Amino acid sequence: MADGDTVTVLDAGNKQHRVRLTGIDAPERHQAYGSKSTESLVGLVYLKKVTVQSSGTDRYKRVLGKILFGGVDVNLEQVKRGLAWHYKQYQRDQPPEDRVSYSYAETQARQGRTGLWGGDSQIPPWEYRRGKR
């Protein structure tokens, strides 16, 4: 497990694939809520048979995908729990229904002060990464 938006999955042939969850961006490890986001993702997928709906690969050769387990969209669940942002910079790559549901989930989490939205300062991971360079 890397963080709250990247996991390693095994396929039927026991080959490992690193999957970057599409449509979301979770706090980095050293950010507030970084470990909570990772723990949440671990709880959702660890040792479970999941389905990955792939939409290609990124520049780091990670599979870009939506993870499903038991009919639950794991990516969306991270946003609902207030442990990831809807990554609007890349929303054009999402199906329209996902754009709407992820955006709505983030709004609901913000309004309910769920997860990271309950704190005083929410620095989006893309801004945090920019500051680290």
Give the active site residue among 62, 77, 81, 106: 62
* Cα–Cα distance measured from residue 119 to residue 71, given in angstroms and rounded to the nearest whole number: 31
pLDDT range class, residue 1, cuts 50, 70, 90: low
pLDDT range class, residue 59, cuts 50, 70, 90: very high
Does the pTM surpass 0.95? The reply is no
On average, the pLDDT of the chain sits at 93
Q: Label residue 133 exposed, middle or buried (CB < 10 Å: 0-12, 13-18, 19+).
A: exposed
* Cα–Cα distance measured from residue 2 to residue 42, given in angstroms and rounded to the nearest whole number: 10
Report the pLDDT averaged over residues 92-107: 95
Predicted confidence at residue 133, as pLDDT, reads 54
pLDDT in tens, 111-129: 999 999 998 778 999 999 8
Give the active site residue among 20, 77, 81, 106: 20
* Cα–Cα distance measured from residue 127 to residue 43, given in angstroms and rounded to the nearest whole number: 27
pLDDT in tens, 60-83: 999 999 999 999 999 999 999 999
Q: Please say if 20 is a catalytic residue.
A: yes
User: Count of H helices and E strands in the chain?
Assistant: 4, 7
Report the pLDDT averaged over residues 23-29: 94
Q: What's the topology of domain 6-118?
A: OB fold (Dihydrolipoamide Acetyltransferase, E2P) (2.40.50)
Give the active site residue among 18, 28, 59, 113: 28
* Cα–Cα distance measured from residue 86 to residue 23, given in angstroms and rounded to the nearest whole number: 6
- Residue 126: phi and psi, rounded to 5, are -65, -30
Q: Please say if 62 is a catalytic residue.
A: yes
Q: Please say if 133 is a catalytic residue.
A: no
